[in-house]
Structure 1
């Protein structure tokens, strides 16, 4: 059986409006993105995940959609999108787009019509009540910015339900006509050749208080209906679920070949930072052992950071406090009492050893890989900006005007560019790092190249070694008689291990990648502080 393309995908997440402005209006656009596709291809990216680019009032970074069938006019038009897709496919790059079906904008025509009358054909697309119903605080996605989930609408003369902002009324997936409309949206974008969809807020899409019987079964089966429909239009397309859930709930999303193809690995993400904060790899190893195994039609999407906060809700209060103290010691670095609103480089004080270690862990763990735009050069954050915008500043291409992002007046730039301090665009930018062989950008490019040469990571059977010092994470991935061995040191101290404790003595060992100081010598694995090493293991002939 041919390996599915997503099993070893290198996914790159970006927001069109902050990537590159081609027309000088201060907002990134599709033509700007098209001009940088050769950069992404050269980096080794195999899939782009586009954040929402649909028309939107932008109350929530485009996740408040008012038209699912068009492109935000600031970013271009459908013709630009088609041109973008064509060049991506010419370069061998797949494209996943956001499917935001938990809610719409209050400016969406469905909602505008629904609020006019209880007899509107769109009334049942949303959730209404004559009075605010009881709710749990955890249902509020943005605590501190919203304090309730029911908002009264004067025109409708009822309350509507929303777990995000009041400007984002929740959709009622129990409505059959709505489900049909969602499939029409999916079909439209598949016709324009997208390669898959990220299901935004997937865990909330199928939640409906009080649902029972046929209604409950319909909600449970919705993802199966969606997958079957997608497969009928493009068997190669994928569904990627955003679901921050514990291992016991993963079966709602990864269930044989019936539901999602991929799932964001939030559980491992949070335990990576817990283990780094503790200097103890046991938490991460134990977390992986709790996960179900992916079959040949499923995959984890591992990541370090993305466009939202680094959420820590799957950790205990004590564990969360430890991670906060290490990576977000100031309250301004935290958000919603659950997460960290910083990019990776500032979190680890821009220490090259820790950055390299983090990325080695990311690329070595079983699953596909997600990179966030700008993280390949170690971009910083702007904590003076509100909420999640702190990690959504424009891409830093060069040390020229506006970081090479736009020729517009600085006041017109979609978000302020980082101009001061250690992460200023004059210090951190693509052009400068392309000229520096020791820069993070070149390290990431080598890491991607090496990962592509080791497909065993994404498709092989993996095993974690248990009899290791607390600071060491050691594991193997094996496929078709090829075995890869990975060793990572979570402590800032040199650690020496016996090679024979992990690899049979009759084996031939080849060093594939290391931090520069770590090595195999005289039957020993010598790991530098925060060091790592990748080895290919073969039987001697």
Structure 2
């Protein structure tokens, strides 16, 4: 593997949702050996690393984000030997491997919780967040669960409530207890010793809750949004001051970083907050002593990603996270696929892909977005996601972005599985986007992703250079990336109408023809078609 210790800065990471990537044994569920089979395809995209969503033993109430054993593989996905084969194959292909760690909560079937709930005085009695009821028997405060309802569940054995920010079967660990921190750091060491290159840290801002269990204040209606929870969820009615985002998190992240540095490993944190996400990103990734990078939900929201919106986000980043490092994603396993979320044409999908490879930050691609997959319609009787089942039909859950990959248009289930039935149905409309069809079509979106990622790799200023002079003028977003050896002026028309751009003064070379970049015309102007970029390079940096 290349030895650059800051390989993650500006890298492209490909997210794999293992249940839906490739089924190798015909049971209708994707698995680790299925990922091994498809890794050459992933490597062919030109990405630097993969992030694999949870594959640990789990009752699968939240499909692996409810962990019952942090140091093994659920039999549905294979074995530790299969994971070792995945690591070896990925590394041989030049791909680093990051795995998803869920440290804020476990399954209620984890041995730690089973022991903790048994009594108030056992060795793990304080490993989870327990609290006495109010005198009238109601929960200790007004905290709400992201999945709906109170964030507290009653336990008869202890005659106390336990905290669950997600499902009641996902009790929150008490990281105020140092032995819990030690146990979680040992989990990280287990996988680092096995050879992983880093972690994606689920809900990184949920690790601590307020020791005093103070009520959250209400959030005024005009400040509510649905970036984290759907609008129909009362979770959006609170300002989440006390159930997450606690200052103690910084010291734990420093401890976690100490473990990472001992292995030369990296971490990508997920910040789940609609009110102070970029501020937290700045806190968690600055100073070189916490996690290397985080992602927020600004580009994963339903709000259309206009030129003005992107400029606004970067201006805020400059104010609150200037020394931090962001990872951008347009789609992932928790949100409606961006092709559908913003109703994007094929040209628009290309435009956003080009924009992503030009922006400062690491980028994360979600399986199938390189095929332009739209959000799938999953009927209620086929739903698996408890979140969608709870809020149907106003919110249909996350299954629509989690349906299986389509590899071959003419094969059963798009080549994902030979089983009679798959865990989620493969939508018929996805078959026309299958990998085998796009491989044979030079104009397909898949090839645009490859060309765009190759262009980013060929121009290191796009990975690690500074970003200055971002301007939104109508639908056109422009900025300059500045490195030690080169500068690149980037402009993208994020609209359906042609636009005209005055290029910057200086000795610039038009580049990016392979990704349909425009160049200055005889009149000295750049005439941008809908969703078309302009990329100008000059050597010598700032």
TM-score, normalised via structure 1 length: 0.84
**1:246 corresponds to:** 277
**1:452 corresponds to:** 457
**1:191 corresponds to:** 193
1:479 paired to 2:505: no
Cα distance change, pair 33–147 in 1 and its aligned pair in 2 (3 A): same
Shift of 1:414: 1.6
Shift of 1:209: 4.5
**1:345 corresponds to:** 339
Whole-angstrom CA distance in 2 between matches of 1:487 and 1:476: 9
**1:289 corresponds to:** 315
Q: SS at 2:481's partner residue?
A: strand
Q: 1:180 aligns with which of 179, 182, 191?
A: 182
Contact 1:22-1:32 at 8 Å conserved across structures: yes
Q: SS at 2:280's partner residue?
A: helix
Shift of 1:199: 1.3
**2:242 corresponds to:** none
Shift of 1:155: 2.5
**2:526 corresponds to:** 525
Contact 2:208-2:249 at 8 Å conserved across structures: yes
Cα distance change, pair 265–526 in 1 and its aligned pair in 2 (3 A): farther
**1:509 corresponds to:** 509
Q: SS at 1:95's partner residue?
A: strand
Q: SS at 1:458's partner residue?
A: helix
> Structure 1, residues 293-315: CA drift from partner, whole Å, max 9, x if none?
89999532111011102xxxxxx
Whole-angstrom CA distance in 2 between matches of 1:267 and 1:136: 27
State how 1:85-104 maps to structure 2 within 5 Å. Answer: 85-104=87-106
Any unmatched runs of 5+ in structure 2? 215-245, 389-396
Shift of 1:177: 1.0
After alignment, is 116-125 or 100-109 more displaced?
A: 116-125
Shift of 1:165: 0.5
CA RMSD of aligned residues (A): 2.4
Shift of 1:99: 1.1
TM-score, normalised via structure 2 length: 0.84
> Structure 1, residues 320-348: CA drift from partner, whole Å, max 9, x if none?
xxxxxxxxxxxxxxxxxxxxxx2122334
Q: SS at 1:520's partner residue?
A: coil
Contact 2:498-2:528 at 8 Å conserved across structures: yes
Cα distance change, pair 513–298 in 1 and its aligned pair in 2 (3 A): farther
> Structure 1, residues 398-433: CA drift from partner, whole Å, max 9, x if none?
1211110111112xx1211112xxx332x1200010
Cα distance change, pair 247–92 in 1 and its aligned pair in 2 (3 A): same
**2:398 corresponds to:** 388
Shift of 1:246: 3.3
Query: How many pairs does the alignment contain?
Result: 483
**1:496 corresponds to:** 500
Q: 1:224 aligns with which of 254, 257, 277?
A: 254
Whole-angstrom CA distance in 2 between matches of 1:35 and 1:514: 30
Whole-angstrom CA distance in 1 between matches of 2:6 and 2:322: 7
> Structure 1, residues 23-43: CA drift from partner, whole Å, max 9, x if none?
111111111110111111111
Contact 2:101-2:202 at 8 Å conserved across structures: yes
Shift of 1:282: 2.2
Shift of 1:197: 1.1
State how 1:362-511 maps to structure 2 within 5 Å. Answer: 362-383=356-377, 384=379, 385=383, 386=388, 387-399=397-409, 400-410=411-421, 413-419=422-428, 423-425=429-431, 427-466=432-471, 469-499=473-503, 502-504=504-506, 507-511=507-511
Contact 1:348-1:354 at 8 Å conserved across structures: no
State how 1:123-138 maps to structure 2 within 5 Å. Answer: 123-131=125-133, 132-136=138-142
Q: 2:295 aligns with which of 264, 273, 278?
A: 264
Contact 2:9-2:463 at 8 Å conserved across structures: yes
Whole-angstrom CA distance in 1 between matches of 2:44 and 2:119: 54
Shift of 1:275: 3.8
Whole-angstrom CA distance in 1 between matches of 2:286 and 2:466: 19
Whole-angstrom CA distance in 2 between matches of 1:268 and 1:20: 28
Shift of 1:537: 2.3
**2:332 corresponds to:** 306
Shift of 1:111: 0.8
Whole-angstrom CA distance in 2 between matches of 1:16 and 1:117: 37
> Structure 1, residues 43-74: CA drift from partner, whole Å, max 9, x if none?
11210001000011111121000000100101
Shift of 1:97: 0.7
Contact 1:113-1:122 at 8 Å conserved across structures: yes
Cα distance change, pair 295–156 in 1 and its aligned pair in 2 (3 A): closer
Whole-angstrom CA distance in 2 between matches of 1:9 and 1:497: 29
**1:535 corresponds to:** 536
